[in-house]
Amino acid sequence: MRVKVTLAYDGSDFDGWQKQHHGRTIQGELEKILKKIHKHDVKVVGSGRTDAGVHALGQVFHFDTDLMIPNDKWPLAINALCPDDLRIIKVQSVDETFHARYSAVQKTYQYQVNVGAYNLFQRKMVYQLNASVDLDLIQEAASLLIGTHDFTSFNATSHEEIEDQVRTIHAIDINQEGDIITFTLKGSGFLRYMVRMIVASLLEVGRHRLPINALSYALKHPDKRALNSNVPACGLTLISVHYELL
């Protein structure tokens, strides 16, 4: 039986999603927990890898099991063994054709920035930019990125790893409440550092450090060397993963 799991985590003290020989990872923690429950190794397949320091409210993974545990009991069983910075939200039985990564049709990410005074208590969840920006200019620049484009200039994934770097961004919503600016990006999928590099470029435009037409040029002339800006992982959260048939 295949099980789809939605989980949340504070990524501050994790070395990312993917299991490593050294370092604490989300996949590693989950597989240790499931091994305790099953008494044998269980492979966990995530919707995608989040980097060290990145958080999630709605990450998704699947695993196969021969245990007849009801869906509403799985969260209790797993959470009883989870560390404080990792929690199972929902468990759902799915068809064996379901794949947490390849069945996904849309992901939503959120990035938060503090443009006011440094806030000690936000530092693990909100990027402390502590500088004013032109929000109208950022909105204008963001509109250029909507649609299907080659995002080679906006990510750190090599072409040897993923040759096709065309992706579709469905929406970029930018809202400010007090000193906190929230960027919400919805798209078909995102490459490594893609959300963070997009946000970094938009902030550079908003601070008048990068001309707005530089973004258009980077889309039309894909080049890994075009844009080198990035923002810290701490402000990034995977909000949700959408599956068409679920």
Which residues participate in catalysis according to the annotation?
51
Residue type, 187: G
Q: Are 52 and 16 in contact (CB under 8 A)?
A: yes
Using a 10 angstrom Cβ sphere, with 0-12 exposed, 13-18 middle and 19 or more buried, the burial of residue 107 is buried
Using a 10 angstrom Cβ sphere, with 0-12 exposed, 13-18 middle and 19 or more buried, the burial of residue 99 is middle
Buried/exposed 51-79: b ≥16 CB within 10 Å, e otherwise: bebbbbebbbbbbeeeeeeeeeebbebbe
Q: How far apart are CA 25 and CA 43, in angstroms?
A: 14
- What are the Cα distances from residue 27, in Å, to 49, 86, 142, 196? 9, 11, 33, 22
Reading phi first (left if > 0) and then psi (alpha if -120 to 50, else beta), residue 66 is in: alpha
Strand spans (E) along the chain: 2-9, 45-46, 55-64, 86-94, 104-114, 127-128, 147-150, 166-177, 180-187, 236-243
The reply, when asked if residue 127 is annotated as ligand binding, is no
Q: How far apart are CA 177 and CA 70, in angstroms?
A: 41
Q: Which residues carry a binding-site annotation?
A: 109
Q: Which residues carry a binding-site annotation for substrate?
A: 109
